[in-house]
Amino acid sequence: MKVLITGSHGFVGTNLIETLDSTCDIIRWDAREDKALPECDAVIHLAGKAHDTKNTTLEEEYYKVNTDLTKKIFDAFLESKAKKYLFFSSIKAKDNDTPYARSKKTAEDYILSNTNITNDTNKRIYILRPCMIHGKGVKGNLPLLFKFVKSGWPWPLAAFENKRSYASIENVSFVVNELLKKNVESGIYSICDDESISTNVLIRLMSECIGIKPKMISLPKSVVRLGAKLGDLLHLPLNTERLIKLTENNVVDNSEIKKVLGINYMPVKAMDGLKTSIRELLKND
């Protein structure tokens, strides 16, 4: 099977190719180039503008990449002989509350409005909504959290109890591989590990992997929120948006993707996947 991948040099693309390389003929394609789509059997559109937690990215930059580029690739797919299209959106698209989320949701709406995603028998179209993906080479909040724990500073947010879903890159790659192999019906599918994990548990897990005793402090929530607002003004590592990310409840339901794939469990458990990611961070620190 010939599989065209945009964004192949990014975190997800690099890991995904390691999984698919033995079974697929991979075509790395620069989606920004103005040329015809190469002949292929499936298109995996990964290229995109990641969410900027510092809020320095202009809204039009998100739309230029996450929306306009997606439209271009999808239109090319519809005109091609390729049978499957996998668009990596985001679990945030359902909230539609940030420029990043809106740009992803607008791209989803374009795909849905330009094809019959449920009844088209000639092509299969999958809009994938992963939650926070982690694994070898991950960037963003997880490495920042790891560096904080490794520094020995006490975790000041222990008063916040939450549950969050994560997605190990192994499980994401498994889903993609299954969608390529099987005749799964088109649809919008959320991707995450089976178990949700609290940030406090994650801090303890990082400490365990590093080999240090976890240090937890339960500062009053009002004090923490005030400090985050100060971080907004001074562009500090802890700002309001990052505080929300670290402490909010965000549990994702992956039952639909497991149902269509005919499985009961994802191959990698949440804690095992996080341990692997943390050990990769430790190895490369």
Look at residue 175 and tell me if it is in a domain: no
C-beta separation of 130 from 88 below 8 A: yes
Q: How far apart are CA 124 and CA 107, in angstroms?
A: 17
**CATH code, domain with 116:** 3.40.50.720
**What's residue 273's pLDDT?**
97
Pick the closest to residue 88 from 190, 195, 170 (CA basis).
190
Within-domain flag for 158: no
Q: What are phi and psi of 268, to 5 degrees?
A: -115, 125
Decide if 8 is inside a domain. Answer: yes
Q: How far is 155 from 278, CA to CA, in rounded Å? A: 17
Residues of the chain with pLDDT under 70: 52-57, 117-121
Cα–Cα distance, 240 to 113 (Å, whole number): 35
* Residue 241 covered by a domain: no
Instruction: Report yes or no on 242 lying in a domain.
Output: no
d(CA 194, CA 30): 33
Beta strands 196-197 and 164-168, pairing class: antiparallel
For residue 11, give its domain range.
1-130
Number of domains in the chain: 1
Note the pLDDT of residue 97.
Answer: 82
Within-domain flag for 205: no
Does residue 204 form part of some domain? no
Question: Please, what's the b/e burial string for 86-102 (b: 16 or more CB within 10 A of its CB; e: otherwise)?
Answer: bbbbbbbbbeeebbbbb
Residue 85 in domain: yes
- Cβ of 178: how many Cβ atoms within 10 Å? 15
pTM for the predicted model, two decimal places = 0.91
pLDDT (0 to 100) of residue 23: 85
